[in-house]
Amino acid sequence: MYSLRHTLVAILLVLSSACLWSPAARSDDPRVTPLVRAVRHCMESVVNIHTEKAAPENKESRFFTPKSRRVSGMGTGIVVDERGYIVTNYHVIHDVDQITVTLKNGETLAAKKVSFDRKYDMAIIHVDASEPLTVMPLGTSCDVMLAENVFAVGNAFGYEHTVTSGIVSAIGRDVEVDETQSYENLIQTDASINPGNSGGPLLNMNGQVIGINVAIRAGAQRIGFALPIDDARRTIARLLSTERLRGISHGVFATDVKTPSDQQLVIDEVIDGSAADICGLQNGDVIREIRGIQIHDGADWERGLLDVPVGTVLDVSIVRGGQATTLPFTVGVGRNMPATVADRDGQSLAVQTVATPNETEAADIHGKVASMLGLRLASLSTHDRNIIGRRYKGGMKVVSVVSGGRAARHGIRRGDILLGLDGYETLDDRNLKFILLDSRLKNLKELSFQIYRQHHGALVGSMDLTTTRK
C-alpha cells in the first residue's frame, strides 16, 4: 500500500508538471493572447547563431609560448528560404572562423557564409538541414504605427529563443554607431534588445516580421533599433541574386511596391535577348509566383531562381493589364549565348548569362565607367592576382583616376584593385556591363566601392568607400 500510494503521488506530480509547461490547447483560454498566438506563428523561423574565432596572440609574453584561444560570439537569424538560407547581421558573422546554427527543435548545424553587405550590415548564411525549414512570415514596414505593440525573438545573451515585447517608440531614426558604421530610417522599440538579438526579427502582433534587430543604445534602458523589413528585403534580394552567386542572369529589373494591403514586384526593364525577354516578360508586368513561391518582392524572385539548374523550365505567373497569365521561363538561356543544359545530376554544363562584350562594346563600357565614376580600369596581371591571394575571386586594376571625379574625391588611387561596385563583384568587362545595365543604379543616392590596396609592400586590406551622388 505504501509503495502504491507513493507511486500515485509521483504520477500526479508528473501530470501536474506537464500541465504547467504544456501550451494551452483551448482556443477560448484567456491566456492565449494575441501575443501568444503571434509567437507560436513565427518561432520555427528563428534560429540561434553561435560563432567562434581565434583571439589575437599575446605577443608580449616573455617566458611562455603564446597559446591561441577561442572567442565566442552570438546572434540570431531569420529563415528566408526553406532550403536553409538564413539572414542575419553582417557584424554577427564578420571575421569569424566557425558558425553554428541551432534550430527551434534543438538541431545544431554548421553554417557557411554565402554573401554579405558591410554598409547595410546584412549577411546570408546557409545550413544543410535534415528537412525543409519554415520561412519567416513576411510583413511590411510601410504601415508601421507609432506605439503599436511589437515583440522581438532572439538569442539574448545566449538564452535561446528569448521573447520580449514592447511598442514602436519611434520611426525613421538615423543612428551613427561609429566612424565606420551608421544606419538610416530605423524603427526604434522598447522591446528589450540585448547582445545576441542582432539579426533577429522584430514582429507585429500578426507574427509577421517588420524589422531586423540591429543595435541598442549603450547605457540606456529599452532603446533598441531595427532595420525596416522593406529596406532589408531590397538588400536581401541583392545578397541572393543569382547573378551575384551563380553568374546566372535572369534579365529582370523590377521595383518592390508595398502597401498595407498588397506587396508586389513590378517589372521596370527587361534586358534584350535575356531569359526574361525570351520568356515574354514585359515592362509593367506584376510577377506573382515562380517555383511555387508567392512573389512579394525581389527577394522572393531571386530565391525562386537560386540554385535552379541552367536549362530548367519554370512556370512564371504574372498579372498583365489586370489579367493573370502563366509564361514558361528557361533558366540561364539568352540569345547569342552557347546552349546551356543540365546534366543528369542537375549540374550546369555551361553557364554564360551576359554575353561577353566585343571590342566596341568594351570601349563603350569603359567610357561610361570613366564618365560616371572617374576611373579607368584594366584586367589584373598575374602579379596583381598574387597580391590579392585566394581570399578574393579577382577584380580590376585602377590604372588611372580622373582628376576631380567621384573616385578621386573619395580617396581611390591609381594602383588600387576594384573588387566590387555596390556589392556586385567586378571581375571583368562582363560584370561591368551587367552593373551598368542595372537601372537601380540610376536611383541610388550612394554608391560603394570595394577596394583592395597595397601600401609599402604590405596588404592594407579591403576598404568600403562610399560616395554620395550629387
Q: Which residues are catalytic?
A: 91, 121, 198
How far is Cα 111 from Cα 52, in angstroms, rounded to an integer?
A: 12
Distances (CA, A) of 16 to 6, 19, 25, 31, 32: 15, 5, 15, 18, 19
- Quickly tell me which residue has 526553406 as its cell: 82
* Side chain identity, residue 448: S
Dihedral pair phi/psi, residue 346, rounded to 5°: 80, 10
- Can you say whether the dihedral through the CA atoms of 452, 117, 400, 432 is positive or negative? positive
166 contacts 123 by C-beta, under 8 angstroms: no
Nearest by Cα to 350 from 362, 366, 361, 337 = 337
Max CA separation in the chain (angstroms): 99
- Using alpha carbons only, how large is the chain's radius of gyration in Å? 25
CA distance 113 to 125: 4
The torsion angles phi and psi of 407, rounded to 5 degrees, stand at -65, -45
Rounded to whole angstroms, the Cα distance separating 452 from 387 reads 9
